[in-house]
Structure 1
Amino acid sequence: MEHPLGVQPQMGLFEGGADVAAAMRTRGLGALACLPDEALLNIMHELAPADLARLACSSRALWAFANHDELWKGFCLDQLEGRWDFQGCWQDTYLLGKQAKGFQPGSRKMRRAAGLQSDLLYTPWLCATCAIDPSWLEVENVDRRSGLSVAEFREQYEIPNKPVILTDVVTKWPAMKKWSRPYLKKAFKGGMTPACLPNCVVRRFDKTFCETAPQLAKDYTVPEVFSDDLFKLLCEARPDWRWLIAGPYKSGSGWHKDPNSTSAWNGVVSGRKKWILYPPHITPPGVRPSCDGADVASPVSIMEWFMSFYEHKASTRCESVGYTPAECILKEGEIMFVPRNWWHIVLNLDECVAVTQNFVSEVTLPHVLSHLRSRSPALVSGCAKEARSGLYDRFVKALKEHRPELLERVAAEEAAKKKRAQEQHKLAGLFKGPEDACPGVNLANGSSAANGSSANGASKPEASGSAAAAQNGTSAGGGFSFGFKL
């Protein structure tokens, strides 16, 4: 596919046209040619729109960089406050929204920068213009259930930490009949509708929709199987927990785990969503989380991941190479249960409107407490940064006041687990022989038995234990587990 400005992907030193591309970059960018594309665009992002437009007139290469759609999309989001009529590109949208003198949609003449090579300019355009590959939509391996009781849901899905689609919940919501575009526009009183409704080319997560449009809260109900939410005990101090999600075709959510080790549900009122999920111990291909899990590096867009990595979806960075991820298309009127700490990515196949909520049940409580206990502002989320380190203490205080039996159960199970670990350590010591040159080495296979280390001294990956748990149907997740079922 040809970029409208003639920009090409980076071909490399051994491909034809490399000399021409280098010469054009040098001539067109001058002293700026020594900067990588990322740095150049970061500098341009700091310019005012008028200055950026003037810079574009300097050369064909600068024209291509200064017309990068993501720069003008930022101006629209920052300055137009959702009041726009998308014109096919963000620069035209901005100029029309600002009522630029003499501007008429489609009247700008685009200069070509033929020969300029830049992945940073070419790839976002390619992702925005290419269609969804039908092969991405073929796999359906997530259970679809109806009529699940609370006990059945807990035993079959929540305790095993396994995703499931419920087909008989959202269909009963008044929102299914009421949430037309005119209805939502009236509900928001025109204040935020362009940014939070379909046909807006921007995906929007609105966590205040029940405050700005209170009647919407009456149009859906929390399913009974998800109603056990202990974060309710924090009242107004609870972390962010519910969102109205609206977005167009090919928008969505990049790879992430839900905050604070909570579980979630996502109910689709209109449209369809492609979901891919990996269990906690398996990192999706192309995703690089930091050691503490606070940051995640992945391709710049959802479409780029599908284009570059979907065919390698069974390749993972753990012992479970060849793992088949959970995949499905979540249809209008269906609701997805997202288990705690599962990686997931979502791609909208249509214009979509959905409601999602995160929750803490008795099953997930030990894991949430373990997560919050870090008191790290980088790991705890959903509230102001200065309040994150104290969320654990506030939550424990609320549990002591309203549900002390749960804290007692968690503490008892934690103590029992420590006792079992100590007993296993003592038992392992009884079988050590004189051949043990190093403490903790298992004579049978040469691996560390007592301290969880490998024979070469490296820490044993947590993934192996989790993978075994996933195979036998028990909960598999990162972080500390109190090891009990409710």
Structure 2
Amino acid sequence: MLGCRSLLKQIKKRKRRKSHKCITKNPKRKIEQEQEDCAAEDGFSLKGSSPSQNYGVQPLGNFYFSSSPHNSRNTGLGNIQTLTDELVLDILGFLSGTDLGILSTVSKSFYVFCNHEPLWRNLVLENCGDGFLFKRSWKSTYVATYQPSFDVSKVGSLGLKVKDFYSDYLFQSWLCANLEMKHEWLDRDNVIRRKGISLDEFISNFEEPNKPVLLEGCLDNWPALEKWDRDYLVKVCGDARFSVGPVQMKLDDYFRYSDQAQEERPLYLFDPKFADKVPKLDQDYEVPLYFNEDLFSVLGEERPDYRWIIIGPAGSGSSFHIDPNSTSAWNAVVKGSKKWVLFPPDVVPPGVHPSSDGAEVACPVSITEWFMNFYESTKTWKKKPVECVCKAGEVIFVPNGWWHLVINLEDSIAITQNFVSRRNLLNVMEFLKRPNASSLVSGTRDRVNLHDKFRNAIEASYPGTIDKLVLEAEKKKAEQEKPSFWDSVKDSNSGAFKFSF
């Protein structure tokens, strides 16, 4: 973990600093400085607005420098100190807000654990389906929601500082919420970039070979590029509510949250029905010509979810996943910028563990955690990921089956759409026909019959298309398996072909 990796480095630096060590009379500031120094020594920079809301938690490696032989984490938990931090928090996750508040008074250790922000975040999201008004922290938001007579603005936001509390898990959670992206995480940019290419060039060079490409200049006619700032969107969207995780929120309330929150996994506004809710938004953009063929449209209202408006603050994003239903996708940035990391279908990203049937994917808690713990290893891989920073006015093509991670580098607004073209139709049909398709298909109410409905709709709208594509695929496969000239002239009795002059 973080503290252990930097232990030897800190020991050496501590020896050098002993002769001029600074003594502070402010214990609170001393703890904050130790946290900042620990992050800096590992090559990380904290955000300028970083709150010191981790209650004095330090990485476990710092315990070896402590003058005290006790870790408050252990002494305060009593008999359950042998449990991992993750398990302790899982157990606390079954408690109500009232129970957490009472338990936090039992000991310093329970105070820290019971004030862990994700616990209060879960309570808010589980009980506030119609949205919430964010109040500096998730705990304050919960209290303000269920005890409106209590003025949370009069309560200090930083909480108590606990001395000699060491936990890698809790410290890393705080660190991931407050880290700036390192320059070396952003420098690699090896995606192919194109501007003004023809549709035929796009199909032959990128869509057919299933390769990503970043396209420039194809959004220049979008009114959204000029119009979609906060004031415009809040005015146009009014009281419409959008999907933000498991809750529905007005856009104005979401911006209020995103301006204040600084957490490991910021909530992402990701809504598939935005055009139905606010038709004006649908008029402010158009599908780039490279993606106009969209065969799922033959299903009409029964088609799976396929387009989303995406709004999020810096640090928000999507951890590694493959797009649903074996579709390809395009993602256009309207405001802000996004860091992309993509791996081809035959390469599973480090730290990612998909189940054998592909129904579930286990990966790090946050995107920042993945960069901290796994990104460096990809530099030595034979098949390196495709990476880029996609800026406003640019669109990236994500081929079907590619793993990808996306993180917003600043407040960002984007439009994304999944689509099926003739180049990918057979892959989608095969995916929808899998034995476990009912657990894999997403974005539709009828997961069981989607394959048959789609096939019948394609046959009705484009008769013979599927059979034609099957014949072309079989012909291509036969060509690839056909022996080369040199293979055909080998002497089967003598082994490999030999020249005889």
Distance in 1 (CA, whole Å) between partners of 2:390 and 2:477 is 41
Distance in 2 (CA, whole Å) between partners of 1:277 and 1:18 is 46
Match of 1:228 in 2: 293
Distance in 2 (CA, whole Å) between partners of 1:380 and 1:370 is 12
Match of 1:481 in 2: none
Residues 195 and 357 from structure 1, CA distance in 2 versus in 1: closer, same or farther, beyond 3 angstroms? farther
Residues 6 and 431 from structure 1, CA distance in 2 versus in 1: closer, same or farther, beyond 3 angstroms? farther
The partner residue of 1:381 within 423, 442, 461 is 442
Distance in 2 (CA, whole Å) between partners of 1:235 and 1:114 is 61
Distance in 2 (CA, whole Å) between partners of 1:154 and 1:109 is 55
Residues 59 and 270 from structure 1, CA distance in 2 versus in 1: closer, same or farther, beyond 3 angstroms? same
Distance in 2 (CA, whole Å) between partners of 1:101 and 1:302 is 35
Aligned residue for 1:156, secondary structure, equals: helix
Match of 2:18 in 1: none
Retained in 2: the 8 A contact 1:261–1:341? Answer: yes
Aligned residue for 2:55, secondary structure, equals: coil
Give the letter aligned to residue 120 of structure 2.
Answer: W
1:221 Cα deviation from its structure 2 partner: 0.5
Match of 2:410 in 1: 350
Superposition pairs of residues 69-80 of structure 1, within 5 angstroms: 69-80=117-128
Match of 2:275 in 1: 210
The partner residue of 2:57 within 7, 15, 21 is 7
Aligned residue for 2:298, secondary structure, equals: helix
1:193 aligns with 2:242: no
1:411 aligns with 2:476: no
Residues 229-257 of structure 1: CA distance to partner in whole angstroms, max 9, x if unpaired?
Answer: 11001111111111111100111110111
Give the letter aligned to residue 59 of structure 1.
Answer: S
Aligned length: 423
Match of 1:475 in 2: none
Match of 1:473 in 2: none
Give the letter aligned to residue 109 of structure 2.
Answer: A
1:370 aligns with 2:430: yes
Match of 2:215 in 1: 166
Distance in 1 (CA, whole Å) between partners of 2:207 and 2:253 is 34
Match of 2:244 in 1: none
TM-score (norm 2): 0.77
Residues 38-92 of structure 1: CA distance to partner in whole angstroms, max 9, x if unpaired?
Answer: 23212222222122111111111111111111112223333444332451x3223
TM-score (norm 1): 0.79
1:124 Cα deviation from its structure 2 partner: 1.3
The partner residue of 2:327 within 262, 278, 295 is 262
Aligned residue for 1:131, secondary structure, equals: coil
Residues 108 and 248 from structure 1, CA distance in 2 versus in 1: closer, same or farther, beyond 3 angstroms? closer
Residues 420 and 170 from structure 1, CA distance in 2 versus in 1: closer, same or farther, beyond 3 angstroms? closer
1:344 Cα deviation from its structure 2 partner: 0.9
Residues 194 and 105 from structure 1, CA distance in 2 versus in 1: closer, same or farther, beyond 3 angstroms? farther
Retained in 2: the 8 A contact 1:171–1:334? Answer: no
Aligned residue for 1:388, secondary structure, equals: coil
1:106 Cα deviation from its structure 2 partner: 4.6
1:275 Cα deviation from its structure 2 partner: 0.8
Residues 250-300 of structure 1: CA distance to partner in whole angstroms, max 9, x if unpaired?
Answer: 111101111111110001110011111111111222222222222222111
Match of 1:401 in 2: 460
Distance in 1 (CA, whole Å) between partners of 2:131 and 2:69 is 42
Aligned residue for 2:211, secondary structure, equals: coil
Retained in 2: the 8 A contact 1:21–1:117? Answer: no
Retained in 2: the 8 A contact 1:82–1:194? Answer: no
Residues 117 and 100 from structure 1, CA distance in 2 versus in 1: closer, same or farther, beyond 3 angstroms? farther
Aligned residue for 1:284, secondary structure, equals: coil
Query: RMSD of aligned C-alpha atoms?
Result: 2.9
Distance in 2 (CA, whole Å) between partners of 1:422 and 1:223 is 36
Distance in 1 (CA, whole Å) between partners of 2:334 and 2:305 is 21
List runs of 5+ in structure 1 lacking aligned partners.
316-320, 434-442, 445-486
Residues 43 and 216 from structure 1, CA distance in 2 versus in 1: closer, same or farther, beyond 3 angstroms? same
Match of 2:97 in 1: 49
Residues 57 and 210 from structure 1, CA distance in 2 versus in 1: closer, same or farther, beyond 3 angstroms? same
Residues 130-183 of structure 1: CA distance to partner in whole angstroms, max 9, x if unpaired?
Answer: 211112121222122222221111011111111111211223211112212122
Distance in 2 (CA, whole Å) between partners of 1:18 and 1:218 is 65
Aligned residue for 2:359, secondary structure, equals: coil
Retained in 1: the 8 A contact 2:309–2:413? Answer: yes
1:95 aligns with 2:143: yes
Retained in 2: the 8 A contact 1:208–1:243? Answer: yes
1:196 Cα deviation from its structure 2 partner: 5.1
1:84 aligns with 2:142: no
Aligned residue for 1:128, secondary structure, equals: helix
Residues 128 and 418 from structure 1, CA distance in 2 versus in 1: closer, same or farther, beyond 3 angstroms? closer
Distance in 2 (CA, whole Å) between partners of 1:194 and 1:77 is 18
Distance in 1 (CA, whole Å) between partners of 2:59 and 2:491 is 62
Residues 105 and 408 from structure 1, CA distance in 2 versus in 1: closer, same or farther, beyond 3 angstroms? farther
1:248 aligns with 2:313: yes
Residues 254 and 422 from structure 1, CA distance in 2 versus in 1: closer, same or farther, beyond 3 angstroms? closer
Match of 1:126 in 2: 175
Match of 1:36 in 2: 84
Match of 2:40 in 1: none
Retained in 1: the 8 A contact 2:333–2:413? Answer: yes
> Mean alpha-carbon deviation: is it higher for 403-412 or for 123-132?
403-412
1:11 Cα deviation from its structure 2 partner: 4.0
Distance in 2 (CA, whole Å) between partners of 1:19 and 1:383 is 58
Superposition pairs of residues 105-144 of structure 1, within 5 angstroms: 105-107=154-156, 110-144=159-193
Residues 186 and 135 from structure 1, CA distance in 2 versus in 1: closer, same or farther, beyond 3 angstroms? same
